[in-house]
């Protein structure tokens, strides 16, 4: 048996959702959801969750692996995915099932509809999106491991940073350190943005070489046992201006205020507001162009979203990022991000790089 | 202006397809197709190709970048993607447009349909899938660069392989060499499968440590200027058995026969048959469980597919892989892969690692 635990509780939650929706079964095609519900770590497959039984459908590559990993589901093998799913649905005699409309392409849906004639396939967008928001002990352990490992990799990678190193080379070194440290892989392509590129919140590492006076934004994470971490450090290379120091201090304070606002029962909007209102007070609101954070787990972006519009409440066991930023167009930018576990009274910060300004020479 | 060339010819081909299909416009959502048609390298966007004009829709992150990169399309900025697309379609006054049904999620389609009332959105699966099959000079140059660079990285990475190294560490070293050599990134997650794992055609690198007597299958590629390479070497660690040597020789001969069958005008099925029939003659047909190769370019798997069922013909300018394999369950496997450019009389092999059995000690 694999290390997968807790299938039964997760499946029970799915079954009560299915019943609430007046459906007989639900077709999962989103691989993180399938992993969450069955333990299956393959890259392709489908899960049909019914009131009494679950069927995991996999292709020939994964029959052995699924047998080793999966609990709480019968395993069926398909040659053609749509045909396999349609057959499983028709065999069960169901009349109405739900499916994840964001995890299926239009073509897959059309093919399935053509093969499963007479069966109502109800597209559902958000109904299963909160399934994974509360993390259990095993999940938290993995996320903590990923966070610690990537924080350690950052500190090692910083040792090699000096003027004249390209963003690509810095990103490559950091990624190498993360994987060498024992991660399954990186959480997402490492972002390294130096100098004027740090003013772009979604920069990709390019050929620009670092210079004295740069801010360098490094945004990175590790995957351990499928679970992801996410952290951002903005470091200073050589001596920086008073304005840079000031903006760093503003973002740092916004970050700390948002952290202080995190606890079970707080709304996501309140946490966003804690960071945003401080940045706005300083007249920098228009330079903070994204939300304050997001849930994270098997996927790097999950529910809840910490934005100005979010109606959700934080609950103990959620893992979220806190990542305010200020981006001065054409000049440079600062983002400071930690990943935290929401607790009853506050939060535990899982990432470990200190957020005092790091100065490299 | 960026390095993007050839937009006008590509767009003309799209326009004649649109006319042939009786449509007024086509909505592209597949990012490699959008890059191919406009030069835009961002990670998200949409392209509306009409009879007279093209509109590239991007979000705020990409306005500057699109302005720098894109030729032959007007650039529009959206806040909400579906809303932006719907608005562009409605503004144009079209009645019927096609869209790529494999590149849109069911939810995106439903949202678009709700917003673009009265407009026929025709889901088309294959009509645009052959758009990129013939590569031009610039594309071939980039693919050659990617191939050479990844072949060189392999030779460097092999120097570090000896008994006791895990698949993960070998994969990490190879990926590091590819990126250090100047690739934008790796073409796909590097596959390293040693010993019994080499019997799995789609193995992921794990913790197994290499031992004397192993076959080690390394499948890897680089990305240069967006274009991908793909190559597989199977190397022997220490002394191997007569049976291993024999199977290697069979796969090598199958690979060479398929290569010899490649030329403009040959059918994909014929090339597959050249490899497959030889493996079958040796009584090993059931151990060759996948197709002989696939087209490659901006995506790692493109048209045409070299399989037993494929009706397509090769044309000069296509770039394809030739990758027969024999996988002995529970024992080990061999795959040998080159990436080649189809020419009028044969092919040019772009990957450069010699396919004689490499023996490491």
Q: Are A351 and A151 in contact (CB under 8 A)?
A: yes
Q: Would you call B309 an interface residue with chain A, using a CB distance cutoff of 8 Å?
A: no
Q: Are B131 and B7 in contact (CB under 8 A)?
A: no
**pLDDT tens digits in sequence order for chain B, 361 residues long:** 345 555 678 999 999 999 999 999 999 999 999 999 999 999 999 999 998 899 999 998 888 889 989 988 999 999 899 999 999 999 988 989 999 999 999 999 999 999 998 899 999 998 898 999 999 999 999 999 999 999 999 999 999 999 999 999 999 999 999 999 999 999 999 999 999 999 998 889 999 999 999 999 999 999 999 999 999 999 999 999 999 999 999 999 999 999 999 999 999 999 999 999 999 999 999 999 899 999 999 999 999 999 998 989 999 999 999 999 999 999 999 999 999 999 999 999 999 999 999 999 8
Q: Would you call A21 an interface residue with chain B, using a CB distance cutoff of 8 Å?
A: no
In this prediction, residue B117 carries a pLDDT of 87
With CB atoms and an 8 Å threshold, state whether A101 touches B123: no
CB nearest A105 (choices: B60, B101, B189): B101
In this prediction, residue A5 carries a pLDDT of 55
Assess whether pLDDT exceeds 60 at residue A137. Answer: yes
Q: Would you call B328 an interface residue with chain A, using a CB distance cutoff of 8 Å?
A: no
Mean model confidence pLDDT for chain A: 95
Concatenating the DSSP letter of every residue in B170-187 gives: HHHHHHHHHHHTT-SEES
Nearest alpha carbon to residue A143 among A334, A349, A332, A323: A349
Q: Would you call A286 an interface residue with chain B, using a CB distance cutoff of 8 Å?
A: no
Assess whether pLDDT exceeds 70 at residue A2. Answer: no
In this prediction, residue A51 carries a pLDDT of 85
In this prediction, residue B338 carries a pLDDT of 98
Q: Would you call B176 an interface residue with chain A, using a CB distance cutoff of 8 Å?
A: yes
d(CA B312, CA B130) in angstroms, rounded, equals 10
With CB atoms and an 8 Å threshold, state whether B172 touches A189: no
Enumerate the CATH 3.90.230.10 domain ranges in chain A, comma separated: 137-360
In this prediction, residue B120 carries a pLDDT of 93
Mean pLDDT, residues A121-131 taken together: 92
CA distance B46 to chain A (A): 16
Q: Would you call A126 an interface residue with chain B, using a CB distance cutoff of 8 Å?
A: no
Contacts of B109 in chain A (CB under 8 A): 106
In this prediction, residue A228 carries a pLDDT of 98
Contacts of B201 in chain A (CB under 8 A): 61
Beta bridge partners of B48: B27, B55
In this prediction, residue B5 carries a pLDDT of 55
CA distance B263 to chain A (A): 31
Q: Would you call A168 an interface residue with chain B, using a CB distance cutoff of 8 Å?
A: yes
Q: Would you call B346 an interface residue with chain A, using a CB distance cutoff of 8 Å?
A: no
Q: Would you call A289 an interface residue with chain B, using a CB distance cutoff of 8 Å?
A: yes
With CB atoms and an 8 Å threshold, state whether B61 touches A101: no
CATH no., domain A137-360:
3.90.230.10
Instruction: Write out pLDDT tens, residues A80-120.
Output: 999 999 999 999 889 899 999 999 999 999 999 999 988 99
Q: Are B178 and B260 in contact (CB under 8 A)?
A: no
Q: Would you call A188 an interface residue with chain B, using a CB distance cutoff of 8 Å?
A: no
Q: Are B331 and B267 in contact (CB under 8 A)?
A: no
Alpha carbon distances (Å) from A213 to A216, A239, A287, B299, B325: 10, 5, 21, 39, 54
With CB atoms and an 8 Å threshold, state whether A104 touches B109: no
CB nearest B61 (choices: A60, A110, A202): A202
Q: Are A324 and A355 in contact (CB under 8 A)?
A: no
Q: Would you call A329 an interface residue with chain B, using a CB distance cutoff of 8 Å?
A: no
Q: Would you call B125 an interface residue with chain A, using a CB distance cutoff of 8 Å?
A: yes
Mean pLDDT, residues A160-177 taken together: 97
Q: Would you call A80 an interface residue with chain B, using a CB distance cutoff of 8 Å?
A: no
In this prediction, residue B7 carries a pLDDT of 67
Assess whether pLDDT exceeds 90 at residue A48. Answer: yes
With CB atoms and an 8 Å threshold, state whether B123 touches A107: yes
CB nearest B105 (choices: A105, A168, A176): A105
d(CA A123, CA A97) in angstroms, rounded, equals 9
Instruction: Write out pLDDT tens, residues A297-314.
Output: 999 999 999 999 898 999
Contacts of B168 in chain A (CB under 8 A): 179
Contacts of B105 in chain A (CB under 8 A): 101-106
Assess whether pLDDT exceeds 60 at residue A220. Answer: yes
d(CA B77, CA B66) in angstroms, rounded, equals 10
CB nearest A179 (choices: B172, B185, B201): B172
> Which residue of chain B is at minimal alpha-carbon distance from A65?
B203
With CB atoms and an 8 Å threshold, state whether A172 touches B180: yes
Cα diameter, chain A: 71
Q: Would you call A211 an interface residue with chain B, using a CB distance cutoff of 8 Å?
A: no
Instruction: Write out pLDDT tens, residues B229-252.
Output: 999 999 999 999 999 999 999 999
With CB atoms and an 8 Å threshold, state whether A104 touches B106: yes
Enumerate the CATH 3.40.350.10 domain ranges in chain B, comma separated: 7-124
Q: Would you call B300 an interface residue with chain A, using a CB distance cutoff of 8 Å?
A: no
With CB atoms and an 8 Å threshold, state whether A104 touches B105: yes
With CB atoms and an 8 Å threshold, state whether B102 touches A103: no
Contacts of B289 in chain A (CB under 8 A): 60
Within 10 A of A329 (CB to CB), how many other CB atoms are there? 12
CB nearest A102 (choices: B107, B179, B185): B107
Cα diameter, chain B: 71
Q: Are B42 and B116 in contact (CB under 8 A)?
A: no
The matching CATH number, chosen from 3.40.350.10, 3.30.70.260, 3.30.930.10, 3.40.50.300, for A7-124 is 3.40.350.10
With CB atoms and an 8 Å threshold, state whether A61 touches B125: no
Helix, strand, coil percentages for chain A (3-state, nearest 5): 35, 25, 40
Nearest 5°: phi and psi at B233? -120, 140
Model confidence, pTM: 0.92
Task: For residue A112, give every residue at least 6 positions away whose Cβ sits within 8 Å of its Cβ, in sequence order, or none.
Answer: A82, A85, A86, A104, A121
Q: Would you call B156 an interface residue with chain A, using a CB distance cutoff of 8 Å?
A: no
Contacts of B78-85 with CB under 8 Å at 24 or more apart are B81/B44, B81/B46, B81/B57, B81/B108, B82/B108, B82/B111, B82/B112, B82/B115, B83/B115, B84/B46, B84/B57, B85/B27, B85/B46, B85/B48, B85/B57, B85/B112, B85/B116
Within 10 A of B359 (CB to CB), how many other CB atoms are there? 11
Find which of A42, A66, A102, A107 to mutate to test the B interface (most B CBs within 10 Å of its CB): A107
């Amino acid at each position: 048996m694999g290390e997968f635990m807790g299938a039964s509780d997760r499946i029970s939650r799915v079954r009560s959702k299915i019943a609430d929706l007046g459906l007989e079964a639900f077709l999962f095609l989103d691989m993180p959801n399938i992993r969450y519900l069955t333990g299956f770590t393959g890259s392709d497959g489908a899960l049909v969750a019914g009131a009494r039984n679950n069927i995991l459908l996999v292709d020939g590559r994964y029959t052995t692996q699924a047998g080793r990993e999966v609990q709480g589901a019968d395993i069926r093998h398909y040659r053609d995915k749509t045909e396999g799913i349609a057959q499983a649905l028709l065999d069960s005699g169901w009349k109405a099932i739900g499916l994840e409309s964001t995890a299926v392409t239009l073509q897959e849906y059309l093919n399935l509809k053509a093969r499963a004639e007479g069966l109502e396939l109800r597209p559902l967008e958000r109904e299963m999106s909160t399934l994974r928001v509360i993390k259990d002990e095993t999940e938290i352990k993995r996320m903590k491991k990923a966070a610690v490992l990537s924080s350690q990799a950052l500190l090692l990678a910083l040792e090699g940073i000096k003027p004249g190193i390209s963003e690509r080379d810095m990103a490559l070194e950091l990624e190498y350190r993360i994987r060498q440290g024992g991660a399954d892989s990186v959480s997402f392509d490492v972002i390294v943005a130096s100098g004027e590129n740090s003013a772009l919140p979604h920069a990709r590492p390019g050929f620009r070489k670092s210079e004295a006076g740069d801010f360098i934004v490094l945004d990175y994470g590790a995957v351990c046992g499928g679970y992801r971490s996410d952290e951002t450090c903005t470091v200073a290379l050589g001596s920086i201006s008073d304005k840079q120091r000031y903006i760093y201090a503003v973002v740092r304070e916004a970050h700390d205020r948002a952290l202080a606002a995190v606890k079970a029962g707080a709304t996501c909007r309140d946490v966003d507001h804690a960071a945003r209102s401080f940045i706005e007070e300083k007249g920098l609101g228009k330079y903070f162009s994204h939300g304050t954070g997001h849930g994270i787990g098997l996927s790097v972006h999950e529910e809840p979203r910490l934005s100005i519009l979010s109606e959700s409440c934080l609950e103990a066991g959620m893992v979220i990022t806190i990542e305010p930023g200020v981006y001065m167009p054409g000049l440079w930018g600062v983002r400071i991000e930690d990943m935290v576990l929401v607790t009853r009274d506050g939060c535990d910060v899982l990432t470990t790089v200190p957020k005092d300004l790091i100065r490299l020479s």
